Amino acid sequence: MILVTGGAGFIGSNFILDWLATHDEAVVNLDALTYAGNVHNLASVKDDPRYTFVHGDIGDTQLVAGVLERHRPRAIINFAAESHVDRSIHGPEAFVQTNILGTFRLIEATRAYWGLLPEHSAFRFLHISTDEVFGTLGAADQAFSERTQYQPNSPYSASKAASDHLVRAYHHTYGLPVLTTNCSNNYGPYHFPEKLIPLVIHNALEGRALPIYGDGQQIRDWLYVRDHCSAIRRVLEAGVPGETYNIGGWNERANLDVVHTLCDILDELSPKAGGGSYRDQITFVTDRPGHDRRYAIDARKIEAELDWRPAETFESGIRKTVRWYLDNAEWVRGVASGSYRNWIEKQYA
Ligand SMILES: NC(=O)c1ccc[n+]([C@@H]2O[C@H](COP(=O)([O-])OP(=O)(O)OC[C@H]3O[C@@H](n4cnc5c(N)ncnc54)[C@H](O)[C@@H]3O)[C@@H](O)[C@H]2O)c1
């Protein structure tokens, strides 16, 4: 049995779907169902006897202790977080609450549980983090490695950096067998349409403007979400406790190039009724304050030590993603209209 937190979000739900498709082992999903949590993502496994959903907050010490006691997981994978940089600029408190205090309470409850386990060296706490903790790179800088100094620039990345430090300290102070992964930008199915790639696909098809921050030359390193999930499984299986692993697919792209690629694939797969290109909908808007210029992951450690490689290139992954959004228009409409909340209430009332 493994415990996944934040499993109703974008990466967590892809992780659970892949896990249940490839493992016999059961999964408990602990999720507070914030605006970003959508149990509809997991509708296909809802009745699977290996899947259990618990509605709750990682910062609720009593609830977490009860979940650990009842389900006795051999590993915890902590995806739960406030994850959107723009939201952290407008309202940082929720980020401090969940990403820092929530992670602290979760790991503290984990320490108590782990201390009583008979097989406690086999236990793992895998903390999912981001490359944004490293700050920003100039055009000529080398990619972020595991030895790069933390220099978080947004309230989001600062709160994730704080949680990474807490997790690291629990290994050094108490010997808790923790692993941390720092991954680049993900994209793929079930991505909430506040983030660049799903937002562009959604707005393009709705005939709306495609907003680009500043000059669109901010560089991100993109990884297909299922490749991130396969890397997490590999780290869980073979990672050395106390170590951190950077995860990325060597796919640096400027935001404007990503949007052009999306428009071109949409032009091909779903041409505009009146003719013309989706590129005509691009509009440039005022840049995000403190917008990091470039992120890039040096993934040599996980490749060399754990023999992990992504299955998708940017070109194959982005095409799959556009196809998924075209084939799942109902999911996108439901999320965009907020109607999945009614569905949740009915299922989990
Ligand atoms: N999306 C990316 O590109 C990316 C890249 C690298 C790392 N990460 C990290 O991966 C993790 C998952 O990211 P995501 O994009 O799937 O995020 P998401 O916002 O889509 O999902 C977050 C999930 O956590 C749940 N949650 C939030 N607060 C909670 C709390 N207090 N208790 C329990 N559940 C709570 C939400 O309901 C939601 O289901 C995060 O830790 C994020 O920092 C994301």
The 10s digit of each residue's pLDDT in 27-54 is 999 999 999 999 999 999 999 999 999 9
Between 317 and 335, the more confident residue is 317
Our answer on whether the CB atom of 36 is closer than 6 Å to any ligand 1 atom is: yes
Tokens of 130: 């981001």
Closest CA to 34 of 64, 79, 77, 75: 79
Q: Is the pLDDT of residue 223 over 70?
A: yes
All structural domains of the chain, each given as residue ranges with its CATH number in brackets, are 2-339 (3.40.50.720)
The pLDDT confidence band at residue 348, using thresholds 50, 70 and 90, is: very low
Residue 132 known to be catalytic: yes
pLDDT, residue 243, reads: 98
Average pLDDT over residues 1-19: 98
Tokens of 137: 């790179």
**142-200 pLDDT tens trace:** 999 999 999 999 999 999 999 999 999 999 999 999 999 999 999 999 998 888 999 99
Q: How far apart are CA 289 and CA 49, in angstroms?
A: 47
Our answer on whether the CB atom of 3 is closer than 6 Å to any ligand 1 atom is: no
Residue 224 known to be catalytic: no
CA–centroid distance, 271 to ligand 1, in Å, is: 33
Query: Percentage of the chain surpassing pLDDT 70?
Result: 96
Q: How far apart are CA 86 and CA 108, in angstroms?
A: 29
The pLDDT confidence band at residue 284, using thresholds 50, 70 and 90, is: very high
Q: Kindly report the protein residue whose alpha carbon is nearest to atom 22 of ligand 1.
A: 9
Q: How far apart are CA 305 and CA 302, in angstroms?
A: 5
pLDDT, residue 97, reads: 98
Q: Is the pLDDT of residue 247 over 50?
A: yes
Residue 24 known to be catalytic: no
Q: How far apart are CA 349 and CA 347, in angstroms?
A: 6
Our answer on whether the CB atom of 77 is closer than 6 Å to any ligand 1 atom is: no
The pLDDT confidence band at residue 24, using thresholds 50, 70 and 90, is: very high
The pLDDT confidence band at residue 139, using thresholds 50, 70 and 90, is: confident
pLDDT, residue 88, reads: 95
Q: Is the pLDDT of residue 62 over 80?
A: yes
Q: Is the pLDDT of residue 343 over 60?
A: no
Q: How far apart are CA 76 and CA 14, in angstroms?
A: 16
Average pLDDT over residues 279-287: 95
CA–centroid distance, 236 to ligand 1, in Å, is: 18
